[in-house]
């Protein structure tokens, strides 16, 4: 369970088993959640800003990501893709993506996400 508390009261809670993917950036972590097709409204993504620390050799972004993702139910893009488009140009968000189509999901990979 991922919980954020203010004082002694939880203000946000979510089960880490609902996390399907996580990516790190320079100063933050983005968590994506499994889709719930039966729900009218669903949390799809949360971005966390991780402030820098003074500790040598410890990257706080990587430490937070590893802590969360070790308990997550990560979707692995395994098996053969039905179709792959390399450097597909997209209008929104504006950039080039490698796109892989699998039987049950679509994987978009931006060059800086590696």
Q: Output the DSSP codes for 29-72.
A: EEEEE---TT-SS---EEEEE----S-TT--HHHHHHHHHHTTS
Domain count, the chain: 2
Query: In terms of residue numbers, what domain contains 100?
Result: 78-114
Spatial contact of 2 and 13, defined as CB atoms under 8 Å apart? yes
**What count of other Cβ atoms lies within 10 Å of the Cβ of residue 19?**
21
Residues 9 and 52 in one domain: yes
Q: What confidence tens digit (pLDDT) does each residue in 42-80 have?
A: 888 999 999 988 777 889 999 998 888 888 877 665 567
Report yes or no on whether pTM surpasses 0.75.
no
CATH number, domain at 47?
Answer: 2.30.29.220
**Do residues 11 and 58 share a domain?**
yes
- Residue-wise pLDDT for 82-95, tens only, equals 888 888 777 766 67
């Amino acid at each position: 369970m991922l919980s954020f508390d203010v004082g002694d009261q939880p203000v946000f809670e979510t089960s880490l088993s609902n996390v399907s993917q996580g990516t790190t950036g320079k100063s933050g972590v983005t968590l994506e959640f499994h889709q719930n097709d039966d729900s009218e409204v669903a949390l799809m993504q949360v971005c966390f800003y991780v402030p820098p620390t003074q500790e040598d050799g410890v990257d706080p972004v990587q430490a937070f990501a590893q802590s969360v993702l070790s308990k997550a139910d990560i979707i692995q893009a395994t098996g053969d893709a039905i179709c792959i488009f390399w450097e597909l140009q997209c209008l929104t968000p504006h950039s080039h993506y490698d796109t892989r189509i699998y039987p049950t999901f679509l994987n978009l990979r931006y060059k800086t996400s590696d």
